[in-house]
Amino acid sequence: MEAILIGFMGSGKTTIGRLLAQQLETTHADLDELIVKRAGQPITAIFAQQGEAQFRTLEQATLQAALKRPGILSTGGGTATVAANVQTLKASSTPVIWLAASDDTILARVASDTGRPLVNSLDTQALFDLKRSRATSYAQAADLVVNTDDRTPNQICQEITTWL
């Protein structure tokens, strides 16, 4: 991989990952999509039928496989909060970029989305608490932090490519 994007749900990992790959003329992979392919089920069904712990096992194995491929990888919001995954990310020597955003931005981006089991099951305060509790892990895993509030995808990609 050439770069890995981490951050909370709605921070822009998939949108920025796709655009970044386009601009760098490389491929883009989305970890959630790879997990869905591997499981043959949507994320909501994996959580409902197999539980979050099984999802995390699947996520860990899929991450390890994905890191062997070239291009840009967008992870899921919980990927970089699992200690073993943080170690895997660090060991890959690939630049890890944390896309950060305010609570209000995140809420506006994810509120109407029914494809995220944690958004469906948590109330707003619990979602913000989860976001806050994950910040230390994101910071530990990241080589660069990029704020995605009030900026266009192009501006965000420009900051990343300049740094890369």
d(CA 118, CA 81): 14
Question: Is 56 known to sit in a ligand binding site?
Answer: yes
Question: Is 134 known to sit in a ligand binding site?
Answer: yes
Structure tokens, 57: 């096992």
Element (H, E) at 106: helix 103-110
Smallest distance from the beta carbon of 113 to ligand S3P, in angstroms? 8
- Window contacting ligand S3P (CB under 6 A); options: 19-27, 112-120, 121-129, 143-151: 112-120
- Please identify, using beta-carbon distances, which residue of 17 and 157 lies nearer to ligand S3P: 17
Positive or negative, the CA dihedral 123, 126, 132, 137 is: negative
List binders of ligand S3P among 18-47 (CB under 6 A).
32, 43
d(CA 1, CA 70): 4
Judged by CB under 6 A, does residue 17 bind ligand S3P? no
- Please identify, using beta-carbon distances, which residue of 28 and 116 lies nearer to ligand S3P: 116
Structure tokens, 161: 């490519």
Structure tokens, 155: 């501006």
Question: Is 78 known to sit in a ligand binding site?
Answer: no
The DSSP result for 124-138, as a single string, is HHHHHHHHHHHHHHH
List binders of ligand S3P among 133-152 (CB under 6 A).
none
Binding positions for ATP are: 10-15, 116, 151
Binding positions for substrate are: 32, 56, 77, 134
